[in-house]
Amino acid sequence: MKYFIIISVFLFSCNTSPRIDKQVRNNFSDGEKELIALSKTIMNNCYYTTLITINQKGQAKARVMEPFPMDEKFEIWMATNPKSRKVSEITNNSKTTVHYFDKSTMSYVSFYGNAFIINDEKTKSTKWKKGWERFYKNQKDDYMLIRFIPDKFELISITKGFTGDKNTWKPHVVDLRL
């Protein structure tokens, strides 16, 4: 019994699952507000994004996705087939990256955070794009959502003068959550 209590306390205190209830910051500097606005412009110029997950062998896996626009909480929603590899990869390791690249302005924004698989009917009914019926024949069974909650983003925009550190090339960074 003594070992069970010790193990239980250890497991409880070592919970490594990410917190999805982190507060969105609302005290951004003027410079950060400018970067946030530019990040949204880059995203809006890109119809597709790249979702990067980590598989069980620790290998990064990239997929082209058709996201919904970022919402007011800086969350990005995407759809997938429940049988896709990314579902098990996100379930096993929620740490993910969502990357947008706009060739016309030589700009990119990479969001770093956690993704979660959402399969409740109410939420799914609010996130649907016309034309997806070709990919998801049965919306109830063949369709689920990915909710991506970024903690921060990095941005470079050559044409807008945001070129990062001239020596290290480190991009501009904005923390989105408290």
- Amino acid present at 109: V
* Choice between 49 and 12, residue whose per-residue pLDDT is larger: 49
Tens digit of pLDDT for each residue in 55-107?
Answer: 999 999 999 999 999 999 999 999 999 999 999 999 999 999 999 999 999 99
Most confident stretch, 19-28, 41-50, 134-143? 41-50
Residue 136 is encoded by which pair of tokens? 């998801």
Residue 20 has pLDDT above 90, yes or no: no
Angle CA(90)–CA(92)–CA(94) in degrees, nearest 5?
A: 45
- Name the CATH code of domain 26-175 (choices 3.40.50.1820, 1.20.120.1200, 2.30.110.10, 1.10.510.10): 2.30.110.10
Residue 46 has pLDDT above 60, yes or no: yes
Question: Among residues of the chain, what percentage have pLDDT more than 70?
Answer: 88
Name the residue among 150, 152, 156, 158 with its Cα closest to residue 174: 152
**Residue 12 confidence (pLDDT) above 90:** no
Is residue 20 within 8 Å of 113, Cβ to Cβ?
A: no
Give the pLDDT mean for 49-56: 98
User: Would you place residue 21 in the very low, low, confident or very high pLDDT band (cuts 50, 70, 90)?
Assistant: low
Average pLDDT (131-156) is 94
Band (51; pLDDT cuts 50, 70, 90): very high
* Cβ atoms of residues 86 and 51 within 8 Å: yes
Whether the predicted pLDDT of 142 surpasses 80: yes
Could you tell me the residue ranges of all domains in the chain?
26-175
